[in-house]
């Protein structure tokens, strides 16, 4: 089964990101394909390179980057949600003098068209968060 996932909550506000990550791990172990993970609304905070949780806490951003390295799953951050929260695509950040290395490894910024494509091309679409 081909699954797409949408995450709408920040990584440390709720257990949403952890639950989504564990869901994806279980799906992969069960032989399913995870087509795309789309980070929307406050979910874009899962992609911040400079997130530095204390050493005794989980590092969910690092988990997403490792998931990308291991499984090559498409990790897409909504461009509109990102811009509203100050996370700019690299070329835009350079133009306006913003921080151009804000995205963690494995993430990319794109529009809602990729969310719609994931919903259409997947057998199931699962949303985590409000």
Q: State pLDDT tens for residues 15-33.
A: 999 999 999 999 999 999 9
Is 70 exceeded by the pLDDT of residue 108? yes
**Dist. CA 24–CA 37, nearest whole Å:** 9
Catalytic residue among 75, 78, 88, 104: 78
- As to burial, measured by CB atoms within 10 angstroms (0-12 exposed, 13-18 middle, 19+ buried), residue 59 is middle
Q: Which helix (DSSP H) or strand (DSSP E) does residue 107 occupy?
A: strand 107-110
Residue 34's beta-bridge partner residues? 3
- Are 49 and 103 in contact, with CB atoms under 8 Å apart? yes
Chain CA centroid to CA 94, Å = 22
Crossing angle of helices 60-71 and 16-29, rounded to 10° = 20
**What structural domains and CATH numbers belong to the chain?**
2-128 (3.40.1260.10)
Average pLDDT over residues 71-82: 95
pTM of the shown model: 0.91
Instruction: Tell me if residue 78 is catalytic.
Output: yes
């Amino acid at each position: 089964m081909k699954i797409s996932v949408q995450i709408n909550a920040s990584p440390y506000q709720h257990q949403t990101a952890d639950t989504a990550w564990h869901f994806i791990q279980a799906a992969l172990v069960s032989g399913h394909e995870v087509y795309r993970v789309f980070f929307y609304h406050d979910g874009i905070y899962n992609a911040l390179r400079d997130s530095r949780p204390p050493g005794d806490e989980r590092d969910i951003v690092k988990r997403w980057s490792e998931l990308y390295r291991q499984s090559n799953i498409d990790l897409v951050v909504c461009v509109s949600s990102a811009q509203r929260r100050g996370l700019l695509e690299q070329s835009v950040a350079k133009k306006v003098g913003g921080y151009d290395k804000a995205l963690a490894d494995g993430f990319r910024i794109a529009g809602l068209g990729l969310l719609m494509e994931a919903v259409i091309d997947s057998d199931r679409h699962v949303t985590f968060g409000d």
